Chain A
Amino acid sequence: MSTVILACRTIADELNRAIKVTRVDYPVFWVESGLHNYPDNLRRRIQDEIDRIGNVSCIILVFGYCGNSLLGLKSNEARLVFPRVDDCISLLLGSFQTRQTLSREMTSYFLTRGWIDYESSLWKEYDHCVKRYGPEKTWKIMKIMLNHYKRLVLIDTGAYDLDGYLEKTGAFAQTFGLKHQVVPGSLRLLEKLLRGPWDEEFVIIEPGEEIGLEHLLLEGGDEEESQVLFRFR
């Protein structure tokens, strides 16, 4: 029974930290960042990796569902296990609930070091824009992009040094008139993913099965809250 980890580079700081804490020593394969903006391409990349890995009985996918990026994935040999979260923002905040609470407080855009340095996030977009189109047009584009946001949130996952990043995000927030705030993250879900138990906070797909929307729906729950995707009570 061999297990490997297939993970998104964007959350490398946090995964490496969780690996250290849990002392789980499964081999890790990384999928490069930057595919987040292209769910179809990301899905293809993950499937390629799954196909390439071979000869294992379990693959732990350290990804969020990320806008259908996991939809349709399958392995004929291995079980696939992944956290039942919509994306890595919820994963790094410890739950969808926390994410929801923060977003309801104030419309927010979230960042971590990984998002700033690796992902094609708002951040990369801004750099790209300034370089290519100059400050004036960049301002216009960023205003359209951030039209509905009130706050820039830096998630302190404890897995990277905030030094250097705080200044960056603070300056950005100021430029675009956003509130700037640091909130604590959590490695709870990542550690549980590595250590188990794989309860209803995780999705397990048997060999030969394809990941589908039905795997993500949580049955039951109270009527008022409806049958909420990725949500836990």
Chain B
Amino acid sequence: MKVEVARALGDLDEQKVLAGVYVLKEQGISPLEIVAQLQAGMEVVGKKYENEEYFLSELIMSADIFKTAVDSLGDAFIGGNVETIRTLVIGTVSGDLHDIGKNIVTTVMSCNGFRVYDLGVDVPVEQFVDAIREHNPEFVGLSCLLTTAFDSMKKTVEEIQRAGLQDRVKILIGGGPVDESVRKYVGADYYCKNAQDAVDLCRRLLGVC
């Protein structure tokens, strides 16, 4: 059954995914484990996209099914008490409108127990600063798919520093062309290759592996 949920998502069979999730839930499988299966399904989709078997449409559909399936779990799985919930403020930086990847990170982080404030796309620098002041997050995530938006990332990081908030948050960055050299260029704390990376990193930083 487990494998089936992953495979059904890989095949973009929404009915089958939702039915599978329901059965797993009834069997008492932990929500986190179900989410892990769904993420395995997303990886299948990612591979098929890389192999040019899937178009963007399929990528978008998969993210949509993924989100619907996760939502169907309710928030039973967040676990822990409210005081220990950690927060992430995330957004796509100014000038950039890509959000498929950022939305996946948002969903995956949420279902791994983080409270996520998603500021959307083309987010002005000040809005990140304001959101940090307002929500007091442990983590700030910047997403960027356009190489020309690297400078927006850089400015956002600088502005967070100028506001004296850099000791309160860890800044993570991600998105297609982002890598370690980009992290250095923009002055962020960490770079994440994908959503799971972000979860693992945040857990590690919190000391809750």
Question: Which residues of A come within 8 Å of B, CB atoms?
Answer: 37-41, 65, 67-68, 71, 86, 96, 100, 103, 107, 120, 124-125, 128-129, 132-133, 137-138, 140-141, 144-145, 147-149, 212-214, 216-217, 226-231
Contacts and interface: CB of A to CB of B under 8 A. Distances in A.
Interface string B71-111: 00000000000000000000000010101000000000000
A87 to B, nearest CB: 8
B200 interface: no
B60 interface: yes
B177 A67 contact: yes
Given A67-B177, A120-B55, A145 B147 contact: no
B57 A228 contact: no
Contact of B177 (A39, A100, A124, A231): A39
Interface residues on B, range: 20 to 34
B119 interface: no
Contacts of B147: 65, 67-68, 86, 216, 229-230
Given A141-B61, A229-B147, A230-B148, A38 B50 contact: yes
Contacts, number: 75
A125 B148 contact: no
Interface centre among A41, A86, A214 (most CB of B within 10 A): A86
Contact of A103 (B64, B95, B150): B95
Given A39-B177, A68-B176, A230-B147, A145 B155 contact: no
B120 to A, nearest CB: 8
A128 B55 contact: yes
Interface of B: 50, 52, 55-57, 60-61, 64, 95, 97, 99, 121-122, 145-148, 150-151, 154-155, 176-177, 181-182, 185
21 contacts: A37-B56, A38-B52, A39-B176, A41-B50, A67-B176, A67-B177, A68-B177, A86-B146, A86-B147, A86-B148, A96-B148, A132-B57, A133-B57, A137-B61, A141-B60, A141-B61, A145-B57, A148-B121, A217-B185, A226-B154, A229-B151
Nearest to A99: B148
Given A65-B147, A68-B176, A213 B99 contact: no
B146 A141 contact: no
A148 B60 contact: no
A2 to B, nearest CB: 31
A145 B122 contact: no
Given A68-B147, A133-B57, 18 more contacts: A38-B52, A41-B52, A67-B145, A67-B177, A100-B148, A107-B97, A107-B122, A137-B61, A141-B61, A147-B99, A148-B97, A148-B122, A149-B97, A213-B182, A213-B185, A229-B147, A229-B151, A230-B147
Contacts of B56: 37, 120, 125, 145
Contacts of A137: 61
